A and B are shown apart, each in its own frame.
Chain A
Amino acid sequence: MEALLDNFWVVLLGKVLIVAALIPAAGLAVGFAELKLSAKMQNRMGPYFAGGRWGWAQLLADGIKFFQKEDLIPEDADEPVFKFAPALVLLGTVALFVVVPFGPGLIVQDLDIGIFYALAISSISTIGVLMAGWSSANKYSLIGGLRAAGQLIAYELPLVLATVGVVVMAGTMSLDGIVQAQAGWFSETGWTGGLPFVIPQLIGFVIFFIAALAELTRTPFDMPIAESELVMGYLTEYSGFRFLFFFLAEFANMFTLSAIAATLFLGGYWAPFIPDDVLQFAGPIILISKVAILVFIIIWFRWTFPRFREDQLQTLAWKFLIPLSLVNIIGTAILKVVI
């Protein structure tokens, strides 16, 4: 067993399998939460029959249904690009899991440039969305793809800039290091160690959260897939398991981006008053409950705010969020030197 765990390839295979199992699980959990919470907020019952109780098997049934469907490709579509786009979008989501720390040492690979890697790899999805929009040979899809690209470019900047404040405060880009920097406890001299960065970096957190919503193309930033005007935008021509890929990527992305937000700003797997040896086991539970709160807020937003107009969205990013995040960086850097 020991020798087996030392073998690089065996460990790698294990990690890949765990992540591959975790992504559908996270996607299903978030998707089911969305179904049930939307129903609650609209005074409906939501899924009820599938699985016998609470309709828990609804999304599993949906998934199986998608696999049974015919793999439709429009006649005019650019076939290789059309086929590859969903894989690329899912790749951006899967690769994000690599750097999320679920507990002390419970991380696929703690990279020294962790958060930078996460931001870089998640930007790949944008290419996939553009590919899907263009290759569908459909005007709605093309407009949806363009809207998505314009939105993702605009909100990538505040997303990156909002994390800079955290990196400056933590003094490291490793996500595990960022969690360590937020850990604090009571001692005889009062509070020692750090605080969750949401307190000193409240502006950064708000910017990050808004930008993450836009990156996820969630309401109020859902113009790219706006059902009522674009009939799902770049997803229009997709069906069957290729649609399932996009669907899974969207919900799993909600999970991972919330996990990264929780790690950066809410202390990650760390919680106050929990000793280190308990944290070893409680870490994933603490992180997932923080993620659950953020996911709940994202779903809550969907049924609270109407959709932005395209120009309002661009104004918000370029004229408001980016300058604000630059001011935030300057302020954080000055305070870092002064204190």
Chain B
Amino acid sequence: MTFADWLSDPVNWVYLAIGAAVVASAFRVVTSQNVVHAALFLVATLAGTAALFLMMSAEFVAWTLVLVYIGAVIVLFLFGIMITRAPLNVEPGLDNPKARPLAAVVSLGLFVLLAYTSLQAFGSDQLTDVGTPTDTVTLAESLIVRFVLPFEIVGFVLLAALVGGITIARRDLTPVEEEERGAV
């Protein structure tokens, strides 16, 4: 298939438009000089990614992205930013020109790595049944039956991270402090 063939399909225009929006807003996430704006551009990036998943009929992944990342993670980001300091104007200190070469190397390396592994894994395979989303029963069977061990391990790792997070955030009181707390 030549590029002209690929471009003649209107579906691919939609893909290009969404992809360009995702890239542009991802770029604004790192260049924006206002923390809240950066977080909001991250919302746009994630929403665009969810739309790309929808285009591949991966409904469940797309809505998981919306529920978990936009609905919970970003909300917590914004909550954390606003509860500490969230100036309405630009903060020039947010832009760090010294870190740019390093950031370029890291992001380029990540891109090459992901592109290489995807090409190695899928090559020229094409999605055949785009348009019919995988029904939840099939999805659940592969997640809970076939891949149950990785699924449980990921759950266990997340639990460990949660316990670690609570331990770091919550320091136990010394006996003296506890007495003071009790006296109040």
Chain A residues close to B by CB (< 8 Å): 76-78, 81, 111-113, 116-117, 119-121, 123-124, 126-127, 130-131, 133-135, 137, 142, 145-146, 149-150, 152-153, 156, 160, 172-173
Taking a contact as CB atoms under 8 Å apart, the answer to whether B82 and A130 are in contact is yes
| Known contacts A76-B88, A145-B82, A146-B82, A116 near B60 by CB under 8 Å | yes
**Partner of B75 from A111, A117, A135, A152 at Cβ < 8 Å:** A152
A112 to B74, CA, bound (A): 26
| Known contacts A112-B133, A146-B79, A173-B136, A120 near B40 by CB under 8 Å | no
| Known contacts A146-B79, A149-B75, A149-B79, A81 near B36 by CB under 8 Å | yes
| Known contacts A119-B67, A124-B66, A78 near B88 by CB under 8 Å | yes
Chain B residues close to A by CB (< 8 Å): 36-37, 40, 43, 59-60, 63-64, 66-67, 70-72, 74-76, 78-79, 82-83, 86, 88, 133, 135-136
**Partner of B63 from A76, A117, A135 at Cβ < 8 Å:** A117
| Pairs of residues from A and B, 8 with the lowest C-beta to C-beta distance, nearest first | A123-B71, A120-B67, A120-B63, A120-B66, A130-B78, A149-B79, A126-B75, A112-B135
- Sample 20 A-B pairs with CB under 8 A, ordered by A number: A112-B135, A113-B136, A117-B63, A120-B67, A123-B72, A123-B75, A124-B70, A127-B74, A130-B78, A133-B82, A134-B36, A137-B88, A142-B86, A146-B79, A146-B82, A146-B83, A149-B75, A152-B75, A153-B72, A172-B136
| Known contacts A117-B63, A135-B88, A145-B82, A130 near B75 by CB under 8 Å | yes
**Residues of chain A lying within 8 A (CB to CB) of residue B63:** 113, 116-117, 120-121
Report the number of A-B residue pairs with Cβ-Cβ less than 8 Å: 82
State how many angstroms separate the Cβ of B168 from the closest Cβ of chain A.
Answer: 19
| Known contacts A113-B59, A156-B71, A156-B72, A127 near B79 by CB under 8 Å | no
**Residues of chain A lying within 8 A (CB to CB) of residue B75:** 123, 126-127, 130, 149, 152-153
Taking a contact as CB atoms under 8 Å apart, the answer to whether A130 and B59 are in contact is no
A271 to B83, CA, bound (A): 48
**Residues of chain B lying within 8 A (CB to CB) of residue A121:** 63, 66
**Residues of chain B lying within 8 A (CB to CB) of residue A133:** 82
Taking a contact as CB atoms under 8 Å apart, the answer to whether A149 and B71 are in contact is no
A149 to B70, CA, bound (A): 13
State how many angstroms separate the Cβ of B84 from the closest Cβ of chain A.
Answer: 11
Main secondary structure of the interface of A (DSSP, over half): helix
**Residues of chain B lying within 8 A (CB to CB) of residue A153:** 72, 75-76, 79
State how many angstroms separate the Cβ of B172 from the closest Cβ of chain A.
Answer: 20
State how many angstroms separate the Cβ of B49 from the closest Cβ of chain A.
Answer: 14
Taking a contact as CB atoms under 8 Å apart, the answer to whether A134 and B86 are in contact is yes
State how many angstroms separate the Cβ of B124 from the closest Cβ of chain A.
Answer: 29
**Residues of chain A lying within 8 A (CB to CB) of residue B88:** 76-78, 134-135, 137
**Residues of chain B lying within 8 A (CB to CB) of residue A81:** 36-37, 40
A146 to B78, CA, bound (A): 9
State how many angstroms separate the Cβ of B133 from the closest Cβ of chain A.
Answer: 6
A258 to B27, CA, bound (A): 40
A3 to B75, CA, bound (A): 45
**Residues of chain A lying within 8 A (CB to CB) of residue B86:** 134, 142
State how many angstroms separate the Cβ of B33 from the closest Cβ of chain A.
Answer: 13
Task: Give the nearest-CB partner of B71 in chain A.
Answer: A123
A130 to B63, CA, bound (A): 21
**Residues of chain A lying within 8 A (CB to CB) of residue B37:** 81
Taking a contact as CB atoms under 8 Å apart, the answer to whether B78 and A127 are in contact is yes
**Residues of chain B lying within 8 A (CB to CB) of residue A77:** 88
State how many angstroms separate the Cβ of A85 from the closest Cβ of chain B.
Answer: 10
Taking a contact as CB atoms under 8 Å apart, the answer to whether B79 and A130 are in contact is yes
Task: Give the nearest-CB partner of A130 in chain B.
Answer: B78
A160 to B70, CA, bound (A): 15
Taking a contact as CB atoms under 8 Å apart, the answer to whether A120 and B60 are in contact is no
A120 to B40, CA, bound (A): 17
A309 to B78, CA, bound (A): 23
**Partner of B70 from A111, A123, A131, A145 at Cβ < 8 Å:** A123
A156 to B73, CA, bound (A): 13
A121 to B66, CA, bound (A): 7
A225 to B70, CA, bound (A): 23
**Residues of chain A lying within 8 A (CB to CB) of residue B133:** 112-113
**Residues of chain A lying within 8 A (CB to CB) of residue B74:** 127
